[in-house]
Structure 1
Amino acid sequence: MNPPSSPSLRIAVMGAGAVGCFYGGMLARAGHAVTLIGRAAHVQAVRAHGLRMDTRQFDEAVAMAASTEAAAVAGADVVLFCVKSPDTETAGAQIRPHLAPGALVLCLQNGVDNADRLRTVLPDHEVAAAVVYVATEMAGPGHLRHHGRGELVIEPAHRSEAVARALIAAGVSAEVSDNVRGALWAKLILNCAYNAMSALGRIVYGELVQQPGATAVMRDVVAECLAVADADGVVVPGDVNLAVRRIAETMPGQYSSTAQDLMRGKPSEIDHLNGYVVQRGDALGVPTPANRTLWTLVKLAERHAAISPPPALPA
């Protein structure tokens, strides 16, 4: 463990799946005090052997604390809130009695409305959104596999600059931005373009874009998302279509989180991705047929996965 080059932070990771383990692990590796909060098998593995961080730059076990209890957020300066979108309110209520005064709860979740939803559960605590660009998966209990990237865009809050500095010192690209809402929509659009088709085809991004018709569907999905965002008064930064094309180049071997969920027989976050665009489109009078089709097909696939044992997730 290396001593932190910026003031040490006490970090708790609520929902220590692939995303939380990557950022928590990088911070722990840099010398910050990190506690992962997750499922029992994962916690046992981390306690026994550390978190195996199998990344593109290094492969090593990183020692840190781990717990199955939400109460383990006690004393943390920053809580990396990484639960699945449907579990936002439930997990927020679990950590509420244990949060330290002045703690920052930083949402590292898919979707665009999680921080707003969490603020209703944690009205006395500061909540900030973050946009996550990282390709990761859990290869097994206590074993994180990192496929690439790792950038974070963080909403301004009283500890945001300190968190960004700590992440940068730990080797993670991070910035604080006044347009996190637009950045969240930009990430939502990437997820809408890739997640459902990766799940339905059980296919990685690099192969997905080579399939007949796939990029045409992506263009339709992106156009609908941009129309909904515009009607909702959201300024989406950058060249979104270029960003969509770059995902297949920078994460060619990545299965979407939706694909990983379906291949493990778990419910996905599709209601908070394409389903959210459909919901906002209906509210704003913007047609979203491509997003509606993908959302519906994933919901059908979820139903099938729930009643049929899924095949093993490809290595």
Structure 2
Amino acid sequence: MKITVLGVGGMGSRFALMLHQAGNDVTLVDGWQTNIDAIRQDGIQANFNGKAVSAKMPIYSPAEIEKSGVQADLIVVFLKSNQLKTMFDQVKALIHPDTYVLCLLNGIGHEDVLEQYVAKDHLILGITMWTAGMTGPGHVELVGDGEVELQNFAPAGKDFALQVVNVFDKAGLHPKYSENVKYSIWRKACVNGTLNCLCALLDCNIGQFGKTKEAPDMLHTIIAEFAAVAAKEGVKLDQTEVYNHVAATFTANIADHYPSMHQDLVQHHRLTEIDFIDGAVARKGEKYDIPTPYCKLLTQLVHAKEQLIGAK
């Protein structure tokens, strides 16, 4: 399958590398020129569960796509949510009538943007529980195990979605076809709406946060706000199950992992996706007249920290 990975950070590098190793025709697109230069010179360099792995794949900046002639059967999106529209405006040449887009971004509501570029029956939504971290341009740390859950947005897209499941399975990405991916997206948003922003604000990894006595109460309160808003969107979250799912990470093999928002904000001084996670819940809470004080405060604190450190 001809696959373009859009956004070659930690997670994009993981998927690109594993899909490439499985024999797929993988092309990379990234907006960070230093990263592009490093990958062009040496390929993606990965510590893959303790083993040094490298692989070269063609990589382009968004501005180079139109002249490149590259087109894709599948575009796998690993951008930051606030980059989504700008990037797709730049890479329209990738898309032909048979192109499908798989969105694996953290957060809520990305389909509203993507429908401007591909038909609903060519849109696949999903989540991933894999982890990855960048240690420098072109260099990534890939540890632990994970999975992918996905579902076609419209019924007509199911056959291709099942093809994607097959391709991902051969690449060892542990895919699962979902019958209710919207629930899973909200459930994953709860993971990000707790661990991502709290680890970034407290400057700690998942396991360190889990050892604090305040962790259980904070998790319960934030998850309750997510659940109240999700119910208005037709998704009934099992709060106990979601809490147990998040809390299980405290002692899992990813306990030493620093979530992506920590990587962005603390490690690299980049703007975050908070407006598409806790910020989205706070905005929707105002719309539905549902109090979401924790989500609102966390969003404000993250934005304040962005300003204090000059995040870009």
Deviates more, 1:225-234 or 1:42-51: 42-51
For residue 28 of structure 2, what is the amino acid of its counterpart? L
TM-score by length of 2: 0.90
Name 1:198's counterpart in structure 2: 199
Find the aligned partners of 2:170 and 2:94 in 1 and give their Cα distance.
Answer: 28
CA distance in 1, matches of 2:150, 2:293: 32
Q: Which amino acid aligns with 2:13?
A: C
In structure 1, the partner of 2:179 is: 178
Pairwise CA distance, 1:55? 2.0
1:168-203 deviation per Cα after TM superposition (whole angstroms, max 9, x unaligned): 111111012121111100000111111111011110
* Equivalent residues of 2:207, 2:256 under 8 A apart: yes
1:256 aligns with 2:259: yes
Aligned to 2:134: 138
For 2:243, the equivalent position in structure 1 comes to 241
Measured in 1, the distance between the counterparts of 2:101 and 2:117 equals 12
Contact kept, 8 Å, 1:182 with 1:236, in 2: the verdict is yes
Residue 43 of structure 1: CA displacement? Answer: 2.0
Contact persistence 2:151–2:179 (CA under 8 A): yes
Task: Tell me how far 1:132 sits from its aligned partner.
Answer: 1.6
| Aligned match of 2:88 | 92
Shift of 1:150: 2.9
Match of 1:79 among 75, 80, 90: 75
Matched-pair contact (CA < 8 Å) for 1:24–1:34: yes
Return the alpha-carbon distance in structure 1 between the equivalents of residues 147 and 5 of structure 2: 17
What letter matches 2:34 in structure 1? A
Equivalence for 1:312:
none
Choose the corresponding residue for 1:33, options 19, 25, 40. Answer: 25
1:124–1:214 CA distance, 2 compared to 1 (3 A): closer
Structure 2: distance between partners of 1:165 and 1:211: 41
1:285 to 2:277 alignment: no
- Asked if the contact 1:102–1:125 (Cα under 8 Å) also holds between the matched residues in 2, the reply is no
Distance 1:193 1:298 in 2: 12
Amino acid at match of 1:106: L
In 2: Cα distance, 1:248 partner to 1:70 partner: 41
How many angstroms apart in 2 are the aligned matches of 1:294 and 1:18?
24
Alpha-carbon distance in 1 for matches of 2:164, 2:50: 22
Question: Are residues 1:62 and 2:55 paired?
Answer: yes
The reply to whether residue 20 of structure 1 matches residue 21 of structure 2 is no
Relative distance call for 1:194 and 1:252 in structure 2 (3 A) is same
Q: In 1, distance between residues paired with 2:135 and 2:292?
A: 35
State the alpha-carbon separation in 2 of the partners of residues 224 and 124 from structure 1. 29
Aligned residue in 2 for 1:150: 146
In structure 1, list runs of 5 or more residues that go unmatched: 1-8, 310-315
Return closer, same or farther for 1:164/1:124 CA change in 2, 3 Å cut-off.
closer
Secondary structure of 1:184 counterpart:
helix
**Cα distance in 2 for residues equivalent to 1:160 and 1:284:** 33
SS of the residue corresponding to residue 11 of structure 1 reads strand
Contact 1:151–1:174 (CA under 8 A) maintained in structure 2: yes
Deviations 1:17-65 (A, max 9, x none): 1111111110001111111111222222222222122122643112222
Identity of aligned residues (%): 27
